[in-house]
């Protein structure tokens, strides 16, 4: 078990080991939903919440159920089931108690099940052998980092609408190139904190 404090992991997950820009997780919805800043903020919030909660639930299930029973080869299938069930649950809960929030987030919630950042964070937590507090820090940080990246990207793409892009590069390719520049900018944080 590594001894890094949860706060350091939180910071590292946001800046130096950004789950989107260095681990490439959640790119699909990042490319598809980064057209508008409002949309990006909604999706970012939803992902942060689900990411934090599922990391905690998956940590508990992995260490309290799967390991004692020697069922760790079922990790993937259990994790994805937990994530799908949790997203479904959140959707029903939000719909019942806060219809306003439901209409703001509604369409993004089902998308989150197939967002690989969620499953990826749970798998990283297992591979890096985090304790409970570290997992919470990592899950929350990864969510914030993802939200930060998609909001920055949405801002850039809104500006880009007025630029004259060569035809083959229009759409996804230019988004990739811009992400490349964004990733380079984030590399500037590299020396600050690091996690493994």
The residues binding another protein (CB under 8 A) are 21-28, 31, 73-77, 80-81, 84, 114-116, 118-120, 123-124, 127, 167-177, 179-181, 183-184, 187
The CB-of-29 to another protein minimum distance in angstroms stands at 10
Cβ proximity to another protein: between 99 and 171 the closer is: 171
Neighbours of 30 (CB within 10 A): 24
The CB-of-122 to another protein minimum distance in angstroms stands at 9
The CB-of-7 to another protein minimum distance in angstroms stands at 24
Rounded CA-CA distance 77/74 in Å is 6
Unique residue bearing structure tokens 């599922």: 54
Report residue 167 CA to chain centroid gap.
31
Cβ proximity to another protein: between 103 and 169 the closer is: 169
Unique residue bearing structure tokens 């910071």: 11
Cβ proximity to another protein: between 76 and 103 the closer is: 76
Length of the chain: 196
The CB-of-100 to another protein minimum distance in angstroms stands at 27
Cβ proximity to another protein: between 100 and 161 the closer is: 161
Encoded tokens for 121: 């964070």
Residue 55: name the closest of 128, 119, 11, 1 by CA: 119
Encoded tokens for 179: 């992400």
């Amino acid at each position: 078990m590594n001894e890094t404090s949860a706060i350091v992991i939180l910071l590292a997950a946001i800046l130096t080991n950004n789950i989107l820009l260095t681990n490439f997780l959640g790119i699909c919805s990042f490319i598809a939903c980064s057209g508008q800043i409002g949309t990006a903020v909604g999706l970012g919030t939803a992902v942060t919440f689900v990411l934090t909660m599922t990391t905690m639930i998956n940590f508990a299930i992995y260490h309290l159920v799967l390991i004692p029973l020697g069922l760790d080869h079922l990790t993937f299938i259990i994790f994805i089931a937990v994530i799908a069930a949790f997203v479904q649950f959140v959707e029903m809960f939000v719909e019942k108690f806060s219809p306003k929030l439901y209409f703001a987030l509604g369409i993004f919630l089902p998308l989150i099940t197939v967002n690989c950042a969620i499953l990826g964070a749970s798998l990283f937590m297992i591979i890096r052998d985090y304790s409970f507090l570290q997992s919470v820090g990592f899950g929350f940080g990864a969510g914030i980092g993802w939200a930060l990246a998609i909001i920055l990207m949405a801002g850039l793409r809104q500006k880009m609408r007025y630029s004259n892009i060569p035809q083959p590069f229009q759409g996804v390719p230019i988004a990739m190139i811009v992400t490349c520049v964004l990733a380079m900018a984030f590399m500037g944080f590299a020396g600050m904190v690091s996690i493994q």
